Amino acid sequence: MATVSTSGQSHDMGLHTEKLTNRTQQRFFDAGESANLTYAWAPEVDTNKVGTLDCEGMDATAINIRIRQLMSEGCGTINLSNPGSMHGLCVGILSRLQLNVTGSLGYFGCGLIDGPNVNISGRVGWSCGENMMAGTIVVQKNAGSTFGAAIRGGDLVCRGDVGSRTGIDQKGGTIIVGGKTGAFSGFMMQRGRMIILGDAGINLGDSMYDGTIYVGGKIEGLGVDAVPADLNDLDRKWLKSKLDLYGMEAPNGIDNMQKIVAGKQLWNYDNLEPSEKKLVL
């Protein structure tokens, strides 16, 4: 049985503190030890040292190896050109660096990253930023489906439209979409926040466990256990601060954004009677 705190700012913004029985959480870093918040095997880089990579004629494996070589040489700013929409590029980067991509990426771009700031001038395919831990990714054009799948931290931003299932299984961090998103966005969302400045497709927030979704446009339909909530001053302050970071604005103003949270009827689904389960679904 989960117990939920009903006080504090995080609760007011739709985020909750819970304690689950028979669960443990392993600590990898101590937040008080700033010097140790890095991976021992991640190369140290200097943002003032610039490396360039022209991907013309290279395959994805060679490109990723070359990125690591540049990082091992201390390059903290890497300018990558002509990626050719190849899949699986710029993945597994664990150093804090600036990566500028001129062009578009294919499927699974920038997955499993923890720290870099990535700017992509073109588009991205499915599952950009999958399992992202920290850092920022800014996509200047559109993105495919499952944008930010299982993201755990950092800011993932698309200035254009995205496909369906945005933020599926989101576990933390922030996803910002400047345009519209497709069906089943926020499906099985567990933590974090999602900002959709345009319209949202059907089944928004379906089976979401926790977290908060903000929508500036029209919502075609809410999913199971996703419910509207009142926008409060904390929401407004956070939304303005976060959008200002990327020079973005809500088309109809922050005050007119809709807030969606979990209804929590599914939290104890296994304990419900068969007749009650039918009512929930």
Q: Could you tell me if 152 and 278 lie in one domain?
A: yes
Q: What is residue 273's predicted lDDT score, i.e. its pLDDT?
A: 53
Which of 141, 174, 192 lies at the terminal end of a domain, its last residue?
Answer: 141
pLDDT digits 0-9 by tens, 5-19: 445 565 666 665 555
DSSP category for residue 228: E
What's the CA gap between 84 and 82, in Å, rounded? 5
Domain assignment present for residue 230? The answer is: yes
Q: Could you tell me if 185 and 258 lie in one domain?
A: yes
Domain assignment present for residue 15? The answer is: no
Q: Could you tell me if 206 and 118 lie in one domain?
A: no
Helices (H) then strands (E): counts for the chain: 4, 13
Domain assignment present for residue 271? The answer is: yes
228: left (phi over 0), alpha (psi -120 to 50) or beta: beta
pLDDT digits 0-9 by tens, 46-60: 999 999 999 999 999
Q: Could you tell me if 63 and 112 lie in one domain?
A: yes
Q: Could you tell me if 112 and 150 lie in one domain?
A: no
Assess whether pLDDT exceeds 70 at residue 26: no
Domain assignment present for residue 81? The answer is: yes
Q: What is the pLDDT averaged over residues 135-158?
A: 97
DSSP string, 24-90: -------TT-GGG-S-TTSPP-EEEEEEEEE-TT--HHHHHHHHHHHHHTTEEEEEEE--TT-SS-S
- Asked if 143 and 158 touch (Cβ cutoff 8 Å), the reply is yes
pLDDT digits 0-9 by tens, 226-251: 999 999 999 999 999 999 999 999 99
Residue numbers of the domain that contains 81: 47-141
Domain assignment present for residue 213? The answer is: yes
Q: What is residue 217's predicted lDDT score, i.e. its pLDDT?
A: 97
- Asked if 134 and 111 touch (Cβ cutoff 8 Å), the reply is no
138: left (phi over 0), alpha (psi -120 to 50) or beta: beta
Q: Could you tell me if 132 and 181 lie in one domain?
A: no
3-state secondary structure of 270: helix
Assess whether pLDDT exceeds 80 at residue 268: no
Q: Could you tell me if 95 and 210 lie in one domain?
A: no
Q: Could you tell me if 137 and 173 lie in one domain?
A: no
Q: In the chain, how many domains are there? A: 2
Q: What is the pLDDT averaged over residues 218-232?
A: 96
Q: Could you tell me if 186 and 268 lie in one domain?
A: yes
Q: What is residue 40's predicted lDDT score, i.e. its pLDDT?
A: 77
Q: Could you tell me if 130 and 149 lie in one domain?
A: no
Q: Could you tell me if 276 and 152 lie in one domain?
A: yes
Domain assignment present for residue 93? The answer is: yes
Domain assignment present for residue 40? The answer is: no
What's the CA gap between 189 and 209, in Å, rounded? 6
Q: Could you tell me if 131 and 196 lie in one domain?
A: no
Which residues have C-beta within 8 Å of that of residue 279, sequence separation ≥ 6?
none
Assess whether pLDDT exceeds 60 at residue 223: yes
Domain assignment present for residue 69? The answer is: yes
Q: What is residue 76's predicted lDDT score, i.e. its pLDDT?
A: 97
Structure tokens at 77: 């700013």
What's the CA gap between 139 and 182, in Å, rounded? 17
